[in-house]
Amino acid sequence: EAQVTQNPRYLITVTGKKLTVTCSQNMNHEYMSWYRQDPGLGLRQIYYSMNVEATDKGDVPEGYKVSRKEKRNFPLILESPSPNQTSLYFCASSLWLAGTTDTQYFGPGTRLTVL
C-alpha cells in the first residue's frame, strides 16, 4: 500500500529534551515536506526536500532541523523543544515534476506537546 508513515503519533515531552519525528514514504517520491498545523493558522511549511541531500527552509523553520540521507526518509529534529512548538505535525511527499511539487500525500500526523 502506498503510504507516508510517521512516528511517533503522539508525544509528550519537556522543554529542552531533543526529539526526532520520523517520516518515511514508499512511493519513490523525490519531494518531501514537513508542516505544522495550528488552530486558525492552517498548514505552515517548516522544511522541504527536493531530493537526497537537498533541503531548504519553508515558512517557519526556526527551532527545527531536517536531513535527507535516503530518498524514502525525512526526519524532523527538534534540538531543544519549547512550548510554542506544541502542534500537530504532518509529513508529506510528492513527485517532483519540472522543478515543482504536485499532489502531496500526507502522513497520519504527530501530535506533539512540549511542557
Partner 1 sequence: QKEVEQNSGPLSVPEGAIASLNCTYSDRVSQSFFWYRQYSGKSPELIMSIYSNGDKEDGRFTAQLNKASQYVSLLIRDSQPSDSATYLCAVNDGTASKLTFGTGTRLQVTL
What distance in Å separates the CA atoms of residue 76 and residue 92, rounded to the nearest whole number? 12
The answer to whether 50 contacts partner 1 (rule: CB under 8 A) is yes
**Strand 76-78 relative to strand 19-25, pairing:** antiparallel
| Residues between 89 and 108 with contacts to partner 1, criterion CB under 8 A | 90, 100-108
87 binds partner 1 per the rule CB under 8 A: no
CA angle 86, 44, 105 (to 5 degrees): 105
The site for partner 1, by CB under 8 A, has a size of: 24
**What DSSP character marks residue 28?**
-
Could you tell me which residues are beta bridge partners of residue 37? 43, 88
Cβ-based nearer residue to partner 1, 63 or 109: 109
Per CB under 8 A, 48 contacts partner 1: yes
Q: Which residues of this chain interact with partner 1, rule CB under 8 A?
A: 31, 33, 40-43, 45, 48, 50, 56, 58, 88, 90, 100-109, 111
